[in-house]
């Protein structure tokens, strides 16, 4: 067995230039997969964390009715005793904070012009403590202790209303009872989310201000922030049975269940990655099959000699597959090393890609080195090379001995 491996190993390096070219092609494919996959992983990670940090949180707790029927009026399906539920959730391990939110909508006016807004009411101190602070491009974030009705508005909405921090606006909304109500607000800051559609409609005020506007003590939901996203499942499993004891039937949702945009992006880019994997697969198959076929033709007389000496044909198949596997292992090692090295260089380069469609900020070109991706890419080339070696291996094993010995 040792000699057999030695023979295969030496055969791999018999034509060093050709082996080097094959290694370059295959390792290039592996490195390319790692870089693209690593960049996609970074994008997924960035999108996941920004989705969570932009206010989605890791878990959200709702009144169970929220998912069963639509509301006739705002907060009809809101949470009543949210302080009790908050204290239950707050006690679980890995929980950084729990904050209440009210989601509402209405009209915003500067006296001369009106527009639609999508509002969110928050507890500023808790939001800040949980890292849900939005990117304030002008002015300052909300102050939970302020006496007036402070508000943050999206950059597009601010432009539309022609306001800047310090200016006043009026909000109009339908209350929980179905009546029309209005409050005056002071714009304290302009925020940007990175998405134009959001920036054109976004409004954030404090919970007391929203409760005054909507005439209700309820909240839409509770948002739970964790120390790490990876702990989501564990905390979900820990909180779920405890919430069963609360007076109100509640439903708890993980961030992934609520992040439909994230899931769509991930599905799209995973499809692109699979497509790239298929291209690399064919690239490796074609180049390595060509190399192995040439090696087979060059060694025809030698193969004939081995067969003449009584070498079982299965040994020859095994020899060629082993040579391909050795090439695959070397290519995988070189490819992973190149992918990690180039990835590290890219991460240090500080390159920023142009903003994607619908986004207002550029995207950093960074790569996450994932062990699973490295193992997957290495396994892909190993399997691919083994498959590519089968045809020359079988052809070598089926050579007619007399013709092979006479091969020039």
Partner 1 sequence: MEHLVRIEMVSKRYALDHSFVTALDEASLRIQSGEFLAIAGPSGSGKSTLLNLIGCLDRPSSGRILIDDIDTGTLRPVAAAALRRDKIGFVFQTFNLIPVFTAEENVEYPLLLHRMPESERRRRVAEALASVGLSDRARHRPDLLSGGERQRVAVARAIVHRPALVLADEPTANLDTKTARQLIDLMRELNRRLGLTFVFSTHDQRLLDRTDRIVRLCDGKVIEDTDDQEVRDAQVSVVGI
Indicate which single residue of 181, 229, 246, 311 sits in contact with partner 1 (rule: CB under 8 A): 311
Among 310, 354, 357, 371, binds partner 1 (CB under 8 A): 310
How many Å apart are CA 57 and CA 62, to the nearest integer?
13
Closest approach of partner 1 to the CB of residue 316, in Å: 11
- Count residues near partner 1 (CB under 8 A): 22
Shortest CB 11 distance to partner 1, Å: 6
The verdict on 301 binding partner 1 (CB under 8 A) reads yes
169 near 163, Cβ under 8 Å?
yes
E-assigned strand segments in 178-257: 180-192, 202-206, 221-226, 250-254
What is the rounded distance in angstroms from the CA atom of residue 345 to the CA atom of residue 284? 25
Instruction: Name the DSSP letter for residue 361.
Output: S
Binding-site member from 16, 145, 309, 371 for partner 1 (CB under 8 A): 309
Closest distance of CB 389 from partner 1, Å: 18
Stretch that binds partner 1, among 1-9, 125-133, 263-271, 356-364 (CB under 8 A): 1-9
Residue 266: Cβ within 10 Å count: 17
Q: Shortest distance, CB of residue 12 to partner 1, whole angstroms?
A: 10
Distance (Å) of CA 38 to CA 48, 56, 369: 15, 25, 6
Q: Which stretch binds partner 1 (CB under 8 A): 65-73, 232-240, 306-314, 322-330?
A: 306-314
Applying CB under 8 A, does 10 fall inside the site for partner 1? yes
Alpha carbons 315 and 4: distance in angstroms, whole number: 9
Which CB, 12 or 388, lies closer to partner 1? 12
- Three-class SS of 367-392: CCCCHHHHHHHHHHHHHHHHHHHHHH
Q: Does 164 bind partner 1 (CB under 8 A)?
A: no
Structure tokens at 114: 């009106």
**According to the binding rule CB under 8 A, does residue 261 interact with partner 1?**
no
Region 369-408 residues binding partner 1, contact defined as CB under 8 A: 401-402, 405
CA distances for 212 relative to 182, 186, 208, angstroms: 9, 15, 6
- Rounded distance, CA 231 to CA 14, Å? 52
> Which helix (H) or strand (E) element contains residue 114?
strand 114-122
Range in contact with partner 1 (rule: CB under 8 A) among 129-137, 232-240, 309-317, 377-385: 309-317
Q: Rule CB under 8 A: is residue 271 a binding residue for partner 1?
A: no
Binding site for partner 1 (CB under 8 A): 3-4, 6-7, 10-11, 14, 301-302, 304-313, 401-402, 405
């Amino acid at each position: 067995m040792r000699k057999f491996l030695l023979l295969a190993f030496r055969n791999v390096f018999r034509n060093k230039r050709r082996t080097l070219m094959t290694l370059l092609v295959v390792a290039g494919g592996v490195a390319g997969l790692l870089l693209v996959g690593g960049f996609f992983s970074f994008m997924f990670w960035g999108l996941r964390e920004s989705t969570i940090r932009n206010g989605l949180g890791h878990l959200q707790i709702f009144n169970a009715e929220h998912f069963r029927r639509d509301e006739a009026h705002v907060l009809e399906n809101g949470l009543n005793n949210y302080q009790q539920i908050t204290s239950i959730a707050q006690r679980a391990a890995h929980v950084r904070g729990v904050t209440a939110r009210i989601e509402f909508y209405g009209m915003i006016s500067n006296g001369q012009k009106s527009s639609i807004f999508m509002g969110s009411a928050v507890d500023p101190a808790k939001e800040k403590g949980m890292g849900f602070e939005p990117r304030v491009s002008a002015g300052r974030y909300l102050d939970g202790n302020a006496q007036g009705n402070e508000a943050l508005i999206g950059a597009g909405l601010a432009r539309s209303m022609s306001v800047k921090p310090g200016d006043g606006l009026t909000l109009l909304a339908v209350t929980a009872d179905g009546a029309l109500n209005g409050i005056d607000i002071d714009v304290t800051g302009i925020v940007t989310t990175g998405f134009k559609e959001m920036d054109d409609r976004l409004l954030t005020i404090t919970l007391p201000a929203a409760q005054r506007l909507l005439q209700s003590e309820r909240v839409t939901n509770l948002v739970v922030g964790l120390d790490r996203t990876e702990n989501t499942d564990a905390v979900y499993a820990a909180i779920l049975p405890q919430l069963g004891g609360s007076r109100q039937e509640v439903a708890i949702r993980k961030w992934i269940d609520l992040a439909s945009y994230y899931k769509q992006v991930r599905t799209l880019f995973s499809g692109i990655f699979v497509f790239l994997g298929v291209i690399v697969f064919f690239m490796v198959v074609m180049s390595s099959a060509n190399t192995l076929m040439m090696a087979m033709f060059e060694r025809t007389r030698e193969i004939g000699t081995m067969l003449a000496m009584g070498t079982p044909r299965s040994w020859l198949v095994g020899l060629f597959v082993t040579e391909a596997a050795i090439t695959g292992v070397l290519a995988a090692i070189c490819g992973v090393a190149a992918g990690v090295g180039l990835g590290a260089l890219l991460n240090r380069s500080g390159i920023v890609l142009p903003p994607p469609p619908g986004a207002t900020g550029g995207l950093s070109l960074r790569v996450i080195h994932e062990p699973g991706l490295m193992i997957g890419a290495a396994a892909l080339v190993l399997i691919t090379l083994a498959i590519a070696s089968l045809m020359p291996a079988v052809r070598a094993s089926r050579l007619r001995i007399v013709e092979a010995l006479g091969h020039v």
